[in-house]
Amino acid sequence: MCVQKEDVHAQTEASTPRNRAGEDPDRTHTSFSCRFSRLRPLKARNQSTYQTCLDLAEQYHLESIAFPSLSTGAFGYPLTEAATIALRTIIAHLKKQTGLKQVTVVLFGRQAYEAHERVLERLLF
């Protein structure tokens, strides 16, 4: 699932390895390790983690960034609530002046995709 800056529109995108030999050298994808305190509630930590990563993307002048669905695996955080936190934070960021052109949310399985799709439709329409 990708959220495009131009129209804050979601679409699916095949996940492919990036920045390997033979690929466009101008395309640089950077991974950030966004750490958070275990003392804060999970909801606040997730929102803060997304926002911190988005801010770092701006700081490093990235045009794209990808996120997993935070805490929905081993932590068992509810998909709908996780999607709401992620997408609300991403959309708010893209509505401001930003160098980001694309934000990709990497999801595991149909259930996660459908939860994010429902939340995105609710937030945009």
Note the pLDDT of residue 109. Answer: 94
pLDDT tens per residue across span 67-87: 999 989 888 889 999 999 999
The domain that holds 72 is classified in CATH as 3.40.220.10
pTM for this structure?
A: 0.68
- Is 25 among the domain residues? no
Is 70 exceeded by the pLDDT of residue 52? Answer: yes
Order of strands across the sheet with 2-4? 10-11, 2-4, 102-106, 64-68
- Is 20 among the domain residues? no
pLDDT tens per residue across span 94-114: 999 999 999 999 999 999 999
- Report the domain count for the chain: 1
- Is 22 among the domain residues? no
Domain span at 77: 2-13+37-124
The strand pairing partners of 66, in sequence order, are 104
Residue keyed to tokens 């003392």: 39
